[in-house]
Structures are given as C-alpha cells and as structure tokens.
Amino acid sequence: MQNNNISGLIIGQNTIYLDKVASTNDYLRDLLSNFKPLAEGTAILAGEQFQGKGQRGSTWVSEPGKNLTTSILLKPHFLSIAQQFALSATVAIAVVNWLKCKTEQDVTVKWPNDIYVGNKKIVGILIENKLKGNKIEASIVGIGININQVNFDTATTITSLAVLTNKADYVIKDLAVELFDSIQKEYNNLFTQSWQPILDRYNESLFWRDQERSFLIAGEKKTGIIKAVGIDGQLQVLIENKLQKFNIKEISHLIS
C-alpha cells in the first residue's frame, strides 16, 4: 500500500497477536493506561476472545480460533466530540465494503454499527472513545467477525462467512490484513473529504431503510419507517407520520 495516508499511518503495521484474551478492547485499553507508547494504527488480533463486549452491554461469543476478533487504536484528533458518529460510520462502511468482496448477498449496517447479511448478523463493532477537551484523543475500535464458525447453538439470526460461502478454511490473519486495508482507505477519506460523504454512504447501506417495520420503543411495539441517521448518531424513524429521533437503547429492531 502506498504511503499516502495520514502522517504515514498504516493500520495493522504494528499488530500484536494473542492466542487468547478476555477482550481485545480491554487489552488495548490496558496498554494505553500503562502509558505504553503505542503508534496509531496498532492492532490487537486474538485467536480466542472469551469476554468480548458488544453494544448495549451485550457479550460477543466467539468459538476459539474460528473468527476474526480485533481492536485497533486510532487517534482522530481532527474530529470533535459532536462528530463521534462519523468514525463509527467510517468503520462500518469499511467493513461493509470488505464483506461485499466476499459475498454477493445484500450487506447492510444495522444501526448503530452491526453488519448484517440479509436478516442475519455477521459483524459486531464497538468503539470506545477517550475525549480531551472538545476533541477525540483516542479511539479503540473493536471488531468481531464470524468467519469459520458454523454452529451458533439455537441462534437463528447469526451467520458467518463460512455459512454464506460453504467454505470453512479461511485464514484469519490474511482476512485481517484485507480488513485493515479497507479501514485505512475509509479513514483516509474521513480525514481528507470530511464526514458528510461517509454519512451519506452509511445511510445508503442502512438496514431496513425506507421499509415499514416493527420496533420496540419504551416497552411498546410500534410500526415505523427508518429514514436516516444524523451526524449526532440518532436514528430517524417516521412513526405515525411524524419523524422521531432515537438514541441507543431507546429503540430496538424487532427481527423475527
């Protein structure tokens, strides 16, 4: 890859490989808290993650050695606190682009940043930001992708690359290099082009967009139509002819 990116940044150039870890996000955060001089783009890649975290306080369960679990250190100082969602959208689009090269099936982003193929989840993303003043000092980008795992207990809304392609011998480290490259490209775009084009492409890939669907809001089942997500990260849903905005935990997709 040509060195025409942000100050020579190459995501994954410094990759720390771990056989087993509770959480790649926690491991990377601990390294930072110990004041270790970590370069931007440093990545943690684990063979097994047994206490992975997801959105809304959920857990990410991964069969040992089967999936891609990684955390990446970014330092998006050029983003303000109000623009935090731009980074989330950037990472989501990068993963969507990478996954579209692996399957011809429909790949979308389920707000805020889970990646779905059809009606089944294949990727979970969790970004934890450290703020300084009105800027983002550092971001830990955690990504879990189902790769070679084919058994998911009784879960019917989860899939993997192996299930989609009928191939179960993907080399995780090779896929990680491809993924890092895709994130690198979109991160460069965010830096050079501003966040609006990124947000536009995020909304173009939005799960259930412009479809009448069921949601759970304040304990009640309601029907609405997703219209977009704003730079503030709020989901905009048309309910009873009124556009309403929701933060995380205020609304849930009811996927049958």
In a domain, residue 224? The reply is yes
157 and 236 together in one domain = no
89 and 193 together in one domain = yes
In a domain, residue 61? The reply is yes
33 and 115 together in one domain = yes
pLDDT at residue 33, rounded to an integer: 86
Domain housing 216:
212-253
pLDDT at residue 145, rounded to an integer: 97
154 and 248 together in one domain = no
245 and 195 together in one domain = no
pLDDT at residue 180, rounded to an integer: 98
In a domain, residue 96? The reply is yes
3-state secondary structure 189-214: HHHHHCCHHHHHHHHHCECCECCEEE
- The tokens of 107 are what? 């790949």
In a domain, residue 149? The reply is yes
Determine contact, residues 42/214, Cβ cutoff 8 Å.
Answer: no
How far does Cα 98 stand from its chain's mean position?
Answer: 12
221 and 111 together in one domain = no
H or E element: which one contains 187?
A: helix 172-193
**CATH number for the domain that contains residue 171:** 3.30.930.10
Dist CA 46 CA 64 (whole Å): 9
The amino acid present at 132, given as its one-letter code, is K
Exposed, middle or buried: residue 177 (CB in 10 Å: 0-12, 13-18, 19+)? Answer: middle
173 and 232 together in one domain = no
**CATH number for the domain that contains residue 228:** 2.30.30
Dist CA 225 CA 210 (whole Å): 6
In a domain, residue 1? The reply is no
Angle at CA 67, nearest 5°, toward 65 and 71? 105
51 and 132 together in one domain = yes
pLDDT at residue 61, rounded to an integer: 60
Determine how many CB atoms are found less than 10 A away from the CB of residue 70. 24
187 and 223 together in one domain = no
Which residue has 């392609």 as its token pair? 165
- Residue 144 CB contacts under 8 Å (≥ 6 apart), including other chains: 49, 52, 54, 60, 62, 67, 68, 69, 123, 124, 125
Dist CA 226 CA 212 (whole Å): 8
Determine contact, residues 251/243, Cβ cutoff 8 Å.
Answer: no
The per-residue pLDDT string of the chain (256 residues; one tens digit each, 9 = 90 and over) reads 333 455 567 999 999 999 999 999 999 999 988 877 799 999 999 999 887 665 545 555 678 899 999 999 999 999 999 999 999 999 999 999 999 999 999 999 999 999 999 999 999 999 999 999 999 999 999 999 999 999 887 668 999 999 999 998 999 999 999 999 999 999 999 999 889 999 999 999 999 999 999 999 999 999 999 999 999 999 999 999 999 999 999 999 999 7
pTM of the model: 0.92
15 and 78 together in one domain = yes
Q: Render pLDDT for 44-73 as a digit per residue (tens, 0 to 9).
A: 999 998 876 655 455 556 788 999 999 999
225 and 104 together in one domain = no
Name the domain count of the chain. 2
Which residue has 């089967």 as its token pair? 66
